[in-house]
Protein backbone atom coordinates (compact mmCIF):
# COMPACT_ATOMS: atom_id res chain seq x y z
CA UNK A 1 0.00 0.00 0.00
CA UNK A 2 1.27 3.48 -0.83
CA UNK A 3 0.86 6.25 1.74
CA UNK A 4 0.42 9.73 0.35
CA UNK A 5 1.16 12.83 2.40
CA UNK A 6 -1.81 14.41 4.18
CA UNK A 7 -4.02 16.76 2.23
CA UNK A 8 -4.16 20.35 3.42
CA UNK A 9 -7.26 19.48 5.44
CA UNK A 10 -5.09 17.01 7.36
CA UNK A 11 -6.64 13.85 5.92
CA UNK A 12 -4.42 10.92 5.01
CA UNK A 13 -5.12 9.48 1.58
CA UNK A 14 -4.35 5.85 0.99
CA UNK A 15 -4.20 4.65 -2.59
CA UNK A 16 -3.68 0.90 -2.73
CA UNK A 17 -0.63 -0.47 -4.49
CA UNK A 18 -1.85 -2.36 -7.55
CA UNK A 19 0.67 -5.05 -8.47
CA UNK A 20 -1.77 -6.71 -10.88
CA UNK A 21 -2.15 -3.58 -13.06
CA UNK A 22 0.28 -4.55 -15.89
CA UNK A 23 -1.32 -7.99 -16.25
CA UNK A 24 -4.80 -6.41 -16.12
CA UNK A 25 -3.90 -3.92 -18.86
CA UNK A 26 -2.66 -6.74 -21.12
CA UNK A 27 -5.89 -8.67 -20.53
CA UNK A 28 -8.07 -5.60 -21.14
CA UNK A 29 -6.24 -4.92 -24.43
CA UNK A 30 -6.72 -8.56 -25.55
CA UNK A 31 -10.43 -8.21 -24.77
CA UNK A 32 -10.66 -4.82 -26.49
CA UNK A 33 -11.88 -3.17 -23.29
CA UNK A 34 -11.02 0.00 -21.44
CA UNK A 35 -10.44 2.43 -24.28
CA UNK A 36 -13.86 3.29 -25.66
CA UNK A 37 -17.37 3.70 -24.38
CA UNK A 38 -19.76 0.99 -25.47
CA UNK A 39 -23.55 1.19 -25.63
CA UNK A 40 -23.89 -2.20 -23.93
CA UNK A 41 -21.92 -0.93 -20.91
CA UNK A 42 -23.84 2.35 -20.81
CA UNK A 43 -27.07 0.33 -20.84
CA UNK A 44 -25.74 -1.84 -18.02
CA UNK A 45 -24.78 1.25 -15.98
CA UNK A 46 -28.27 2.67 -16.57
CA UNK A 47 -29.85 -0.56 -15.39
CA UNK A 48 -27.61 -0.60 -12.30
CA UNK A 49 -28.65 2.98 -11.49
CA UNK A 50 -32.31 1.99 -11.74
CA UNK A 51 -31.90 -1.15 -9.61
CA UNK A 52 -29.91 0.69 -6.94
CA UNK A 53 -31.98 3.89 -7.25
CA UNK A 54 -28.86 6.08 -7.47
CA UNK A 55 -27.95 9.09 -9.60
CA UNK A 56 -24.56 7.68 -10.70
CA UNK A 57 -23.34 4.26 -11.76
CA UNK A 58 -20.36 3.03 -13.72
CA UNK A 59 -18.72 0.10 -15.45
CA UNK A 60 -15.10 0.92 -14.75
CA UNK A 61 -11.88 -0.56 -16.17
CA UNK A 62 -8.66 0.43 -14.39
CA UNK A 63 -5.08 0.61 -15.63
CA UNK A 64 -1.87 1.74 -13.92
CA UNK A 65 -2.74 5.45 -13.93
CA UNK A 66 -6.41 5.99 -14.54
CA UNK A 67 -9.92 4.64 -14.55
CA UNK A 68 -12.05 4.43 -17.67
CA UNK A 69 -15.84 4.46 -17.45
CA UNK A 70 -16.78 2.18 -20.34
CA UNK A 71 -20.33 2.38 -19.00
CA UNK A 72 -21.63 5.53 -17.34
CA UNK A 73 -24.96 6.69 -16.02
CA UNK A 74 -25.42 10.24 -14.70
CA UNK A 75 -28.60 12.17 -13.92
CA UNK A 76 -27.86 14.73 -16.64
CA UNK A 77 -26.85 12.99 -19.83
CA UNK A 78 -25.60 16.33 -21.21
CA UNK A 79 -22.64 16.14 -18.86
CA UNK A 80 -23.31 19.24 -16.81
CA UNK A 81 -23.58 17.28 -13.56
CA UNK A 82 -21.06 17.23 -10.74
CA UNK A 83 -19.23 14.11 -11.95
CA UNK A 84 -18.01 15.96 -15.04
CA UNK A 85 -15.86 18.25 -12.92
CA UNK A 86 -13.53 15.40 -11.96
CA UNK A 87 -13.57 13.51 -15.26
CA UNK A 88 -11.91 14.15 -18.59
CA UNK A 89 -12.29 12.64 -22.02
CA UNK A 90 -8.58 11.94 -22.24
CA UNK A 91 -7.88 14.19 -25.23
CA UNK A 92 -8.21 17.56 -23.52
CA UNK A 93 -11.36 18.48 -25.45
CA UNK A 94 -14.75 18.98 -23.85
CA UNK A 95 -17.09 16.24 -25.06
CA UNK A 96 -19.66 16.37 -22.27
CA UNK A 97 -19.46 13.65 -19.63
CA UNK A 98 -15.86 12.58 -19.17
CA UNK A 99 -14.91 8.93 -19.17
CA UNK A 100 -11.51 9.08 -17.44
CA UNK A 101 -10.66 9.65 -13.82
CA UNK A 102 -7.30 9.53 -12.06
CA UNK A 103 -6.58 6.30 -10.19
CA UNK A 104 -6.30 8.22 -6.92
CA UNK A 105 -9.92 9.35 -7.19
CA UNK A 106 -12.77 7.24 -5.96
CA UNK A 107 -13.08 3.84 -4.40
CA UNK A 108 -13.00 1.46 -7.38
CA UNK A 109 -9.19 1.06 -7.22
CA UNK A 110 -9.66 -0.28 -3.68
CA UNK A 111 -12.25 -2.78 -4.91
CA UNK A 112 -9.93 -4.03 -7.67
CA UNK A 113 -6.96 -4.48 -5.33
CA UNK A 114 -9.08 -6.05 -2.55
CA UNK A 115 -10.87 -8.25 -5.11
CA UNK A 116 -14.01 -7.94 -2.97
CA UNK A 117 -17.12 -5.83 -2.94
CA UNK A 118 -17.01 -2.60 -0.94
CA UNK A 119 -20.00 -1.09 0.83
CA UNK A 120 -19.69 2.46 2.16
CA UNK A 121 -23.06 3.64 3.44
CA UNK A 122 -21.54 6.99 4.42
CA UNK A 123 -17.95 7.47 3.27
CA UNK A 124 -17.47 10.12 5.94
CA UNK A 125 -17.70 7.38 8.58
CA UNK A 126 -14.44 5.85 7.29
CA UNK A 127 -11.31 8.01 7.73
CA UNK A 128 -9.48 5.98 5.06
CA UNK A 129 -12.11 6.91 2.46
CA UNK A 130 -13.42 10.26 3.73
CA UNK A 131 -10.27 12.05 2.50
CA UNK A 132 -10.68 10.90 -1.08
CA UNK A 133 -11.02 13.81 -3.55
CA UNK A 134 -14.41 12.57 -4.78
CA UNK A 135 -15.90 13.38 -1.39
CA UNK A 136 -15.04 17.10 -1.43
CA UNK A 137 -14.83 17.75 -5.17
CA UNK A 138 -17.83 15.73 -6.37
CA UNK A 139 -19.87 15.31 -3.20
CA UNK A 140 -19.85 11.50 -3.08
CA UNK A 141 -21.30 10.26 0.21
CA UNK A 142 -22.23 6.65 -0.51
CA UNK A 143 -20.57 3.92 -2.59
CA UNK A 144 -21.40 0.33 -3.49
CA UNK A 145 -18.98 -1.52 -5.78
CA UNK A 146 -17.95 -5.02 -6.82
CA UNK A 147 -15.00 -6.34 -8.83
CA UNK A 148 -15.27 -7.82 -12.32
CA UNK A 149 -13.09 -10.92 -12.01
CA UNK A 150 -12.86 -12.88 -15.25
CA UNK A 151 -12.17 -16.54 -15.95
CA UNK A 152 -8.40 -15.95 -15.83
CA UNK A 153 -8.72 -14.66 -12.25
CA UNK A 154 -7.86 -11.08 -13.16
CA UNK A 155 -9.90 -8.24 -11.67
CA UNK A 156 -10.59 -6.25 -14.85
CA UNK A 157 -12.42 -3.43 -13.13
CA UNK A 158 -15.61 -2.78 -11.23
CA UNK A 159 -19.23 -1.89 -11.36
CA UNK A 160 -20.40 0.67 -8.85
CA UNK A 161 -23.37 2.67 -7.67
CA UNK A 162 -22.75 6.11 -6.16
CA UNK A 163 -24.95 8.61 -4.35
CA UNK A 164 -24.47 12.11 -2.98
CA UNK A 165 -26.48 11.14 0.11
CA UNK A 166 -25.70 8.43 2.68
CA UNK A 167 -27.43 5.16 1.77
CA UNK A 168 -28.28 2.14 3.93
CA UNK A 169 -27.20 -0.48 1.35
CA UNK A 170 -27.38 -3.40 3.78
CA UNK A 171 -26.94 -7.03 2.86
CA UNK A 172 -29.47 -6.74 0.03
CA UNK A 173 -27.36 -4.05 -1.66
CA UNK A 174 -24.22 -6.13 -1.28
CA UNK A 175 -25.87 -9.22 -2.77
CA UNK A 176 -27.33 -7.17 -5.63
CA UNK A 177 -24.01 -5.58 -6.63
CA UNK A 178 -22.21 -8.93 -6.47
CA UNK A 179 -24.89 -10.61 -8.57
CA UNK A 180 -24.82 -7.86 -11.19
CA UNK A 181 -21.02 -8.00 -11.34
CA UNK A 182 -21.16 -11.76 -11.97
CA UNK A 183 -23.74 -11.18 -14.70
CA UNK A 184 -21.54 -8.64 -16.47
CA UNK A 185 -18.48 -10.88 -16.22
CA UNK A 186 -20.46 -13.62 -17.97
CA UNK A 187 -21.34 -11.18 -20.75
CA UNK A 188 -17.69 -10.13 -21.10
CA UNK A 189 -16.61 -13.77 -21.26
CA UNK A 190 -19.26 -14.57 -23.90
CA UNK A 191 -17.85 -11.77 -26.02
CA UNK A 192 -14.28 -12.95 -25.49
CA UNK A 193 -14.97 -16.61 -26.30
CA UNK A 194 -12.84 -19.48 -25.00
CA UNK A 195 -9.37 -18.83 -23.62
Fold of 18-192: Beta-Lactamase (3.30.450)
* Complete edge-to-edge strand list for the sheet that includes strand 56-62: 100-102, 66-73, 56-62, 155-163, 142-149, 118-120
Residues 6+ apart with CB under 8 A from 171: none
- When comparing pLDDT for 82 and 150, which is higher? 150
Q: Where are the domains of the chain?
A: 18-192
Q: What is the mean pLDDT of residues 114-121?
A: 96
Residue 106 has pLDDT above 70, yes or no: yes
Supply the pLDDT for residue 16: 83
Each residue's pLDDT tens digit, 127-155? 889 888 888 888 899 999 999 999 999 99
Q: How confident is the model at residue 14 (pLDDT cuts 50, 70, 90)?
A: low
Average pLDDT over residues 172-189: 97
> How many whole angstroms separate alpha carbon 40 and alpha carbon 161?
17
pLDDT number for residue 137: 83
What are the tens digits of pLDDT across the range 32-48? 999 899 999 999 999 99
Integer Cα distance of 118 and 193 in angstroms: 29
- Looking at every residue in the chain, the average pLDDT score rounds to 84
Q: How far apart are CA 122 and CA 25, in angstroms?
A: 31
pLDDT value of position 44? 98
Amino acid sequence: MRYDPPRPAGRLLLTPEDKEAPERVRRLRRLGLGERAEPVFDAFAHRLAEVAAVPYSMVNFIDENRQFFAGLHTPDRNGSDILSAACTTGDGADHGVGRYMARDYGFCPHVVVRRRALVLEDVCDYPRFAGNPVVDEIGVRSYLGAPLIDQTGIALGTICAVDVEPRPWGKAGLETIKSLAAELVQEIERRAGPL
